[in-house]
Amino acid sequence: MKFIEKLHNILSKQQRKNDLENILQTIDTARFDSCRELYKDVDPYPGSSKYLDIRKWMADKVVEAYRLKLNKAKNLSILDIGTGAGYFPYVCNYYGHDAMALDMNIDPMYNALIKLLNIDRLAYEISPYQKLPDFGKKFDLVTAYAICFNNHGRDDLWTASEWRFFMEDLANNYLKENGKVLLVLNRESNSLYYDTALLSFFVQNGAKVDNDRIYFDGVNSFRT
């Protein structure tokens, strides 16, 4: 690696650390601590109680924001699907964007954290071949991390057909002209993120695929 690249990486890492500290300072620690006390044993690691480690997960989302260059961009309209605790939209808002979220309204811990972080979250359960709810606006960027709405871990895991419906709905109804989409998949029981048919579907529609990350720099191929 060239010296200048190395220097850039060091500075960027330092900047991310500073950002993380600044973000954590904006959190009501006393309220967060009572949430942690209440929910820490409800669904222990690898269950959802792991998300109570706010430093770890907020740091993870700061890295994500940097990967998407959201620390440099201005005033983007962002939707985070299956947001869980809402850490990603919180980080987006910290960088001056307008982020909203979607998730089911069934998990008391996520509900408490969403409220604490003051995330604008629409309650909705995604189902195959069902359109998303009306958000009343279009987005520059749609993200979904550690996706479960594709029936992750189940026999009826989404195939290319369900993904096509979902992506066409996003492209036709909820993404701005140059809107972008990042999908981050979970590993399935066979340890793979996708089979070859799903991988070809993503690639043929213009995605850059890097292990679990499926990134669409544009969604024109889904516009009908």
Ligand X SMILES: C[S@@+](CC[C@H](N)C(=O)[O-])C[C@H]1O[C@@H](n2cnc3c(N)ncnc32)[C@H](O)[C@@H]1O
Residue selected from 39, 90, 95, 149 as contacting ligand X according to rule CB under 6 A = 149
Q: Indicate whether 112 belongs to the interface with ligand X (CB under 6 A).
A: no
Whichever of 125 and 177 has its CB closer to ligand X, that residue is 125
- Three-state DSSP at 84 gives coil
The footprint of ligand X on residues 25-64 (CB under 6 A) is: none
Among 24, 27, 104, 116, binds ligand X (CB under 6 A): 104
140: three-class secondary structure by DSSP: strand
145: contact with ligand X by CB under 6 A: yes
Q: Does 83 bind ligand X (CB under 6 A)?
A: yes
CA dihedral 212, 16, 32, 47 (to 10 degrees): 20
φ, ψ of residue 116 in degrees (nearest 5): -60, -40
State the nearest-atom distance from the C-beta of 168 to ligand X, in Å.
18
DSSP 198-223: HHHHHHHTT-EEETTEEEES--GGG-
Which of 92, 126, 185, 214 is close enough to bind ligand X by CB under 6 A?
126
- Nearer residue to ligand X within complex by CB, 185 or 207: 185
CB contact at 8 A, 36 and 52: yes
Cross-strand partners of 103: 123
Q: Which residue, 9 or 47, is less far from ligand X as judged by CB? A: 47
Residue 125 interacts with ligand X (CB under 6 A)?
Answer: yes
Tokens of 224: 């009908």
Instruction: List contacts with ligand X (CB under 6 A).
Output: 82-84, 87, 103-104, 107, 110, 125-126, 145-146, 148-149
